[in-house]
Amino acid sequence: MGLGTGILTGHLVTLRRFLRTFLVGQGRTLKRRGGGHQPLDFFRKPAPGTEPVIDQGPTTEGLFTVEYPDERLPTRERFRVLPVLIYDDEDGYVRCTSCNICAKVCPPQCIWMTHAQGPDGNPVPMPEDFFIDMDVCMNCGFCAEYCPFDAIKMDQNFEQSNYERHQTHIYSLQDLLVSSTYYAQTHPEAWASADEVAERNKVKKKKDQRLQKALAGPASGRPAPAAVS
């Protein structure tokens, strides 16, 4: 092969792909994103929260570009990013008992917590605070799998960027709390599954017993835990 022929061939391949993609694709350029014609994208910005959700089906042809953040791919229920802590809407109490199991099973050891204590120094079955280092979390979901109180779940929110990469990347209890209604909306299939219904009922009983013990106050020597406001 002569000098420079390889480079020329490479350029021709690139040129052919460019032309097929952008010029002679039988209108495919305008039919990207699942088939929608969107030539005026530049002028038509959707309001935050109203971005169209698009999907690439098996019959989609041509260039398929998701113009994030103006467009989004659908979020699948089992897509998981970071853990969240659930509190129950019906009574406002966090489910977590600060048992520390999630912290023990977490492979990169990015969970830690402090146990709530009453004025007499006795422990209350709740976390005083709960931390997850989001930069270290590897999204494995072990914490949610092992939690015996159905208190920690994996969330789908991937938009976690901010302007500071140290302190604000350590999520505390207030950052991690989400309601049971939120979880039911984002994980409808799991929420309605027989396994989770049974688990919720089991956990509810345990929680009621725990709360009754704690609410017994001076007799048990333990103060009532605070509800999430």
Positions that interact with ligand SF4 (CB under 6 A): 83, 96-102, 106-108, 110-111, 132, 137-143, 147, 149, 151-152
CA distance 39 to 30: 7
Min dist CB 163 to ligand SF4, Å, is 23
Q: Which residue has tokens 């000098």?
A: 3
Other CB atoms closer than 10 Å to residue 88's CB: what's the count?
Answer: 20
CA distance 206 to 143: 19
Min dist CB 229 to ligand SF4, Å, is 20
Using the minimum distance from each CB to ligand SF4, give the nearer residue, 17 or 104: 104
Min dist CB 115 to ligand SF4, Å, is 9
The overall longest dimension of the chain from CA atoms, in Å, is: 94
CA distance 179 to 166: 27
Min dist CB 185 to ligand SF4, Å, is 21
Using the minimum distance from each CB to ligand SF4, give the nearer residue, 30 or 101: 101
Using the minimum distance from each CB to ligand SF4, give the nearer residue, 54 or 203: 203
Using the minimum distance from each CB to ligand SF4, give the nearer residue, 31 or 171: 171
CA distance 123 to 198: 28
